């Protein structure tokens, strides 16, 4: 102890002089080091108010300071010459200033921080886009889709609750902004779904073929969509299938009309995953339970199955093998003026798709090779047809963010469709009497469409984001090249409010069979639409408001013609206003819901039958639904017990009345004499659907959901069409097949 | 013990001169420049002082200080980690309501949590082996789920993966154990939470903190005081008030300035004690 004290004293005495000498020496040395520059100044916001606690720094160095409460800062630096000083704070655009520093300088800088309004990685420049999925920016979360009352856990039906999608009938068909259902293209993992509906009909079908639990997310664009999407006049629904399963999951669902099984297995965690789903639908029990069995001779039934293998071969590279098949059939009694009989339909389709995604030197490359095969059999009276088609598609998309302010995307696709028709079809449209004349068909038509596009997404200023692009397509049967320029602009009025403008040209080629020499026209060209869109959007946490107006002139639409079978003589327009308001989040807030209202005016040149004669009139299109209102409301009652209501009101669709008839075939059947096209409307459509669900978690992450729903609560007998007696002297109303009906079931999820 | 007589005076002077030279150099260099390590240490000090006083201004200053260090490639992973940790603590402070109400507190919480995720992702990209970063990421995901239950389906899996990765990297890291225990405490039973597992975790974390030897003062060192605070909360919940008091007192032994315990938890305990005695 004593010794150590001495040591300390010695150390102190010896060191003081040496330390001071050393310090003097070093000070002299330091004096040789170049003098430093001093930077001082303040950071303010756009309104000139001081910004405290902002990081101010010379980029690429650790030299800097945090601002004080008065927004002022001061620091010294040895760096000289051209330097960039930067102020950064979360929620604000970085403020930068280039300085030229010299030793001994004292530089005063004033930096202005502006609130970050648009970040390119989160921006959806496109107007009229709605999305579903788990992303924070999704319009509807996945759970909201499957719990939408009246949507029957169907993606297409849930999307019908968005504005711009008209309630032409009670099916799942997506009639968008005055366009026909065929003007909406449906994609899954870049592959085209040529027949996306179950129980197909001229208005689409009853459900979409892709079950919601197979889909990770969707983007639905009701207009103004970018150049990456081609061969669609009105809208695009793009879906992404599920990726690698993260854990073992087994799901079982049993409902009144369906049973399903799902298996998700990470075979080699993080490397190889397998997903399987199988679904069997059997509606007979449901219709019997609800006392509505009589209308079907074969109750709608079917199955679908999916097997996917996902191989993550590197941190950035993934191969996804997606295989899907679906089959449905039904038999229904149909009263036609010319024939009173049973319609039988059966449809089978397959989708095989290999998708390859990887990143090469900052370029995201996505490539898909797909085969969509479809086969059907339709039989009623003299109609006995077996249509089918095979669609092969190869598509590549390449994307890169070149900076924080710009990204580019380009790609190409080739799609070959081979359609075949075997059987007999009525010689006179709608004359289904088995004794009436028929065409006998055994035809095969093939067409190839190739397309390419390029898009640039830019953020030239902090308030403006723009997507400009151009695409070109060539069709082998039309032998025509089309070029479609498109542009979307988003101008941020504030952090939560922006204005969107879009314009573009859109072309769609007729289906291959429409080029046939017998009943089609080999000289057909592409159909064209032009989109003009202006909208206002406001989003703030739980609230989303959108208002959009659009104008869509059509040209060169395919029109039936008595001499040439088909021509490009059709034209028309659609214009309207869409309003969308959403509040809350499912399960997060006690109440959540959305309201969609659309006003639409749609006019097209259409045929008017006057016995054997046909004349043309510009009139309301069959999908001119003037007012379309949907209100969805969901309530969390207690714990995980939730209920929901969906109310729909839509103007009845236009119909062309039959005012007389012309006897044909010695009076065995009659040809209608129509009044003005679209001069009458069906009664307004109204429907209320309700649902109740209870979610219960048990064990280590397992859960079970019980659900109960009432469709068409008020048993509304909505009129879906008028039907005539054989001589067209009497008209009756055909009402909905879906009066009040109950549905219930349970879904069990087991996770390991 | 040192013995002056056993040390040759000449060589001693040489040693002292060199020592003085080095110290002088360090001293003047420290005045003149602020290398990454110094900035990190300073940021940690400001952060700790801010947490003790519940002072958001100091936390924001600490964040700005850490942000400067991101320019240093060697310390960038740590800097991003500390920015995320500061965001995490800012969120706690915003939630505690001790700060004056802003115009959009909920919105700021989500922005800060998202920022924390981004910072941790960068940190992990630069140093995948940091158990602390994986564990904190798991906790931040948990906080986002708390704010947005709808995101639970996706982020719950991510949170689970992150904590599992952390445990694999460093199973005896006391902050990893603490974060998992807090998660078990905060998660409802129906979503897989377990107060019993949480208590086991708090006790194990406390033991691990007493055994932790920090080789580098720059590395994360937080959590010892919090562990006792959480232990006390768990005891309070069980009605074991005496044990809760012991735990809070231990927290104050570790960190006498620990504002959360001194000004929030202890008064709450005392109110509960008073209610019981009546």
Same domain, A605 and A715: yes
Establish if A192 belongs to a structural domain: yes
Question: Can you give the pLDDT at residue A34?
Answer: 57
Q: What pLDDT digit, counting tens, does each position of A495-519 carry?
A: 789 999 999 999 999 998 888 887 7
User: Which residue range forms the structural domain that includes residue A70?
Assistant: 34-115
Percent of chain A with pLDDT over 90: 53
- Domain end, chosen from A91, A115, A139, is at A115
Which tokens in the block code for residue B128? 């995948």
Same domain, A618 and A552: yes
Establish if A104 belongs to a structural domain: yes
For residue A742, which of A691, A706, A686 has the smallest C-alpha distance?
A: A691
User: Are A302 and A281 within 8 A, CB to CB?
Assistant: yes
Which tokens in the block code for residue A505? 């040209």
Same domain, A21 and A46: no
Question: Can you give the pLDDT at residue A4?
Answer: 39
Q: Is the pLDDT of residue B6 over 50?
A: no
- Domain end, chosen from A61, A88, A115, is at A115
User: Are A71 and A47 within 8 A, CB to CB?
Assistant: no
Q: Which of A3-17, A138-152, A206-220, A348-362 has the weakest average pLDDT? A: A3-17
Size of interface A-B (CB pairs under 8 A): 127
**Which H helix or E strand runs over A664?**
strand A658-664
User: Are A449 and A477 within 8 A, CB to CB?
Assistant: no
Question: Can you give the pLDDT at residue A29?
Answer: 47
Could B192 and A701 be called an inter-chain contact, meaning their C-beta atoms sit closer than 8 Å?
Answer: yes
Chain A within 8 Å of B67 (Cβ-Cβ)?
yes
Question: Can you give the pLDDT at residue B104?
Answer: 59
User: Are B123 and B140 within 8 A, CB to CB?
Assistant: no
pLDDT band, residue B9 (cuts 50/70/90): low
Question: Which residue of chain B is at minimal alpha-carbon distance from A78?
Answer: B33
CATH assignment at residue A80: 2.60.40.1120
Question: Can you give the pLDDT at residue B99?
Answer: 47
SS3 of residue A610 by DSSP: strand
Chain A within 8 Å of B187 (Cβ-Cβ)?
no
Question: How far from A487 is each of A224, A531, A533, CA to CA, in Å?
Answer: 8, 10, 10
Could A19 and B20 be called an inter-chain contact, meaning their C-beta atoms sit closer than 8 Å?
Answer: yes
For residue A146, which of A251, A227, A248 has the smallest C-alpha distance?
A: A251
Q: What pLDDT digit, counting tens, does each position of A430-463 carry?
A: 778 888 888 888 888 899 999 999 999 998 888 8
In the block, tokens 């949907």 appear at A630
Chain A residues with CB under 8 Å of B4 CB are 3, 6-7, 10
Could A64 and B2 be called an inter-chain contact, meaning their C-beta atoms sit closer than 8 Å?
Answer: no
Between residues A24 and A114, the one the model is more confident about: A114
Same domain, A454 and A366: yes
Same domain, A331 and A266: yes
SS3 of residue B243 by DSSP: helix
Burial A461-474 (b: 16+ CB within 10 A, else e): ebbbbbbbbbbbbb
Between residues A427 and A58, the one the model is more confident about: A58
Which tokens in the block code for residue A357? 């995604």
- Please, which residues bridge with residue A553 across strands? A573
Same domain, A107 and A225: no
Residues in B 211-270 with any Cβ partner in A closer than 8 A: none
Which tokens in the block code for residue B91? 């969120």
Mean pLDDT value across residues B44-57: 89
Question: How far from A349 is each of A214, A328, A390, A467, A567, CA to CA, in Å?
Answer: 17, 9, 10, 36, 30
The 10 Å Cβ neighbour count of residue B57 is: 16
Same domain, A386 and A327: yes
Same domain, A109 and A141: no
Q: Which of A574-583, A665-674, B62-71, B239-248 has the weakest average pLDDT? A: A665-674
Query: Into how many domains does chain A fold?
Result: 3
Question: Can you give the pLDDT at residue A316?
Answer: 80
ipTM of the complex: 0.77
Establish if A348 belongs to a structural domain: yes
Percent of chain A with pLDDT over 70: 91
Establish if A122 belongs to a structural domain: no
For residue A274, which of A320, A217, A325, A326 has the smallest C-alpha distance?
A: A320
pLDDT band, residue A141 (cuts 50/70/90): low
Angle at the Cα of A548 (from A547 to A551), degrees rounded to 5? 160
Question: Can you give the pLDDT at residue A585?
Answer: 73
Chain B residues with CB under 8 Å of A136 CB are 148, 151
Q: What pLDDT digit, counting tens, does each position of B116-131 carry?
A: 999 999 999 889 899 9
Same domain, A82 and A211: no
Establish if A150 belongs to a structural domain: yes
Q: What pLDDT digit, counting tens, does each position of B73-91 carry?
A: 899 999 999 999 999 999 9
Question: Which one-letter DSSP state was computed for residue A271?
Answer: T
Residues in B 80-139 with any Cβ partner in A closer than 8 A: 104, 106-107, 110-112, 115
CATH assignment at residue A451: 2.40.170.20
Same domain, A628 and A668: yes
User: Are A646 and A713 within 8 A, CB to CB?
Assistant: no
Establish if A121 belongs to a structural domain: no
Establish if A123 belongs to a structural domain: no
Q: Is the pLDDT of residue B103 over 70?
A: no
Establish if A524 belongs to a structural domain: yes
What lies within 8 Å, CB to CB, of A530 at 6+ separation is A503, A504, A505, A506, A552, A553
Between residues A473 and B263, the one the model is more confident about: A473
Question: Can you give the pLDDT at residue B10?
Answer: 52
For residue A70, which of A98, A48, A99, A102 has the smallest C-alpha distance?
A: A48
Test mutation, A16, A59, A66, chain B, max B CBs within 10 A: A66
Could B2 and A59 be called an inter-chain contact, meaning their C-beta atoms sit closer than 8 Å?
Answer: no
Question: How far from B205 is each of A416, A683, A699, B143, CA to CA, in Å?
Answer: 63, 70, 26, 21
Mean pLDDT value across residues A523-550: 93
Question: Can you give the pLDDT at residue A148?
Answer: 86
Which tokens in the block code for residue B270? 């005392």
User: Are A357 and A318 within 8 A, CB to CB?
Assistant: yes
Rounded Cα–Cα distance for residues B240 and B238 (Å)? 5
Same domain, A293 and A376: yes
Q: What pLDDT digit, counting tens, does each position of B197-245 carry?
A: 999 999 999 999 999 887 788 999 999 999 999 999 999 988 899 999 9
pLDDT band, residue A738 (cuts 50/70/90): confident
Question: Can you give the pLDDT at residue A85?
Answer: 93
Between residues B267 and A726, the one the model is more confident about: B267
In the block, tokens 């069409």 appear at A721
Same domain, A25 and A44: no
Q: Which of A85-94, A187-196, A633-642, B183-192 has the weakest average pLDDT? A: B183-192
Q: What pLDDT digit, counting tens, does each position of B168-204 carry?
A: 999 999 999 999 999 999 887 766 778 899 999 999 9
pLDDT band, residue A712 (cuts 50/70/90): very high
Residues present in chain A in total = 752
């Amino acid at each position: 102890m004593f010794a150590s004290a001495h040591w300390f004293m010695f150390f102190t005495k010896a060191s003081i002089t040496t330390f001071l000498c050393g310090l003097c020496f070093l000070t002299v040395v330091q004096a040789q080091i170049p003098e430093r520059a001093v930077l001082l100044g303040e950071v303010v916001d756009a309104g000139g108010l001081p910004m405290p606690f902002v990081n101010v720094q010379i980029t690429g160095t650790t030299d800097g300071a945090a601002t004080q409460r008065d927004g002022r800062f001061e620091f010294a630096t040895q760096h000289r010459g051209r330097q960039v000083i930067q102020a950064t704070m979360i929620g604000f655009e970085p403020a930068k200033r280039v300085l030229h520093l010299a030793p001994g300088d004292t530089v005063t800088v004033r930096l202005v921080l502006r609130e970050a309004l648009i970040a390119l990685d989160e921006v959806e420049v496109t107007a009229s886009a709605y999305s579903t999925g788990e992303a924070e920016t999704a319009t509807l979360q996945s759970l909201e889709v499957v719990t939408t009352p009246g949507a029957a856990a169907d993606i297409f039906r849930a999307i019908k609750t968005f504005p711009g999608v008209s309630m032409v009938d009670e099916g799942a068909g997506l009639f968008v902004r005055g366009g026909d259902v065929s003007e909406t293209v449906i994609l899954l993992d870049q592959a085209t779904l040529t027949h996306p509906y179950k129980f197909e009909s001229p208005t689409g079908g009853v459900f979409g073929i892709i079950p919601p639990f197979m889909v990770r997310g969707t983007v639905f664009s009701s207009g103004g969509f970018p150049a990456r999407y081609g061969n669609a006049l009105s809208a695009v629904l793009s879906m992404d299938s599920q990726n690698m399963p993260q854990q073992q999951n087994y799901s079982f669902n049993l409902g009144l009309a369906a049973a399903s099984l799902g298996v998700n297995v990470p075979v080699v965690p993080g490397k190889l995953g397998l997903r399987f789903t199988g679904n069997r639908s059997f509606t007979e029990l449901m219709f019997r339970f609800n006392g509505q069995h009589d209308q079907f001779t074969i109750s709608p039934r079917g199955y679908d199955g999916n097997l996917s293998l996902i191989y993550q071969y590197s941190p950035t590279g993934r191969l996804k093998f997606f295989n899907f098949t679906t089959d449905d059939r039904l038999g229904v009694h149909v009263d036609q003026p010319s024939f009173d009989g049973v319609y039988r339909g059966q449809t089978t389709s397959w989708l095989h798709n290999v998708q390859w995604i990887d990143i090469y030197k900052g370029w995201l490359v996505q490539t898909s090779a797909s085969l969509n095969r479809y086969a059907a059999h339709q039989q009623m009276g003299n109609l006995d047809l077996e249509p089918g088609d095979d669609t092969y598609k190869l598509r590549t998309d390449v994307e890169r963010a070149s900076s924080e302010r710009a990204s580019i995307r380009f790609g190409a696709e080739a799609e070959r469709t081979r359609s075949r028709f075997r059987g007999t079809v009525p010689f006179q449209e709608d004359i289904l009497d088995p004794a009436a004349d028929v065409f006998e068909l055994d035809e095969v038509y093939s067409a190839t469409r190739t397309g390419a596009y390029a898009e640039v997404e830019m953020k030239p200023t902090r308030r403006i984001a723009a997507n400009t692009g151009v695409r070109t397509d060539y069709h082998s049967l039309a032998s025509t090249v089309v070029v479609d320029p498109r542009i979307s602009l988003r101008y941020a009025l504030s952090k939560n409010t922006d204005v969107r403008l879009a314009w573009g040209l859109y072309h769609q080629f007729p289906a291959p069979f429409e080029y046939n020499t017998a009943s089609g026209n080999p000289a057909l060209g592409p159909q064209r639409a032009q989109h003009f869109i202006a909208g206002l959007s406001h989003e703030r946490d739980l609230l989303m408001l959108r208002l959009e107006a659009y104008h869509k002139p059509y040209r060169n639409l395919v029109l039936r013609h008595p001499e040439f079978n088909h021509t490009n003589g059709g034209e028309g327009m659609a214009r309207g206003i869409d309003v969308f308001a959403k509040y809350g989040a499912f399960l997060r807030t006690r109440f959540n819901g959305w309201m969609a209202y659309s006003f639409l005016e749609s006019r097209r040149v259409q045929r008017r039958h006057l016995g054997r004669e046909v004349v043309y009139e510009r009139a309301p299109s069959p999908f001119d639904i003037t007012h379309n209102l949907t209100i969805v409301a969901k309530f969390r009652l207690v714990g995980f017990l939730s209920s929901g209501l969906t109310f729909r009101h839509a103007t009845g669709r236009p119909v062309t009345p039959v005012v007389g008839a012309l006897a044909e075939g010695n009076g065995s059947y009659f040809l209608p004499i129509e009044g003005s096209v679209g001069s009458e409307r069906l009664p307004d459509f109204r429907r209320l659907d309700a649902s109740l669900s209870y979610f219960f978690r048990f064990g280590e992450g397992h859960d079970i959901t019980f659900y109960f729903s009432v469709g068409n609560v008020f048993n509304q007998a909505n009129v879906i069409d008028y039907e005539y007696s054989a001589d067209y002297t009497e008209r009756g109303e055909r009402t909905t097949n879906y009066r009040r009906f109950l549905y219930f079931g349970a879904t069990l999820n087991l996770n390991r | 013990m040192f013995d002056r007589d056993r040390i040759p005076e000449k060589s001693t002077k040489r040693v002292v001169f060199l020592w003085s030279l080095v110290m002088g150099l360090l001293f003047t260099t420290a005045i003149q420049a602020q290398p990454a390590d110094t900035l990190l240490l300073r940021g940690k000090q400001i952060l700790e002082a801010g947490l003790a006083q519940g002072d958001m201004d100091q936390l924001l200053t600490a964040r700005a200080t850490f942000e400067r260090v991101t320019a240093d490639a060697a310390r960038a992973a740590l800097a991003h980690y500390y920015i995320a940790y500061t965001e995490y603590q800012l969120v706690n402070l915003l939630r505690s309501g001790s700060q004056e109400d802003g115009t959009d507190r909920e919105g700021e919480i989500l922005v800060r949590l998202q920022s924390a995720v981004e910072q941790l992702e960068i940190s992990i990209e630069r140093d995948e082996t940091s158990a602390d970063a994986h564990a904190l990421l798991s906790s931040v995901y948990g906080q986002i789920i708390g704010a947005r239950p709808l995101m639970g389906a996706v982020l719950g899996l991510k949170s689970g993966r992150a904590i599992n990765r952390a445990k694999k990297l460093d199973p005896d890291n006391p902050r990893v154990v603490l974060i998992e225990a807090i998660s078990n405490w905060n998660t409802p039973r129906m979503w897989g939470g377990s107060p019993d597992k949480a208590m086991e975790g708090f006790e194990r974390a406390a033991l691990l903190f007493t055994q932790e030897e920090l080789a580098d003062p720059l590395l994360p060192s937080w959590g010892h005081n919090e562990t006792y605070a959480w232990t006390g909360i768990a005891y309070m919940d069980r009605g074991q008030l005496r044990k809760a008091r012991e735990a809070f007192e231990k927290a104050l032994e570790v960190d006498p300035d620990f504002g959360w315990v001194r000004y929030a938890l202890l008064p709450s305990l005392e109110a509960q004690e008073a209610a019981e005695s009546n």
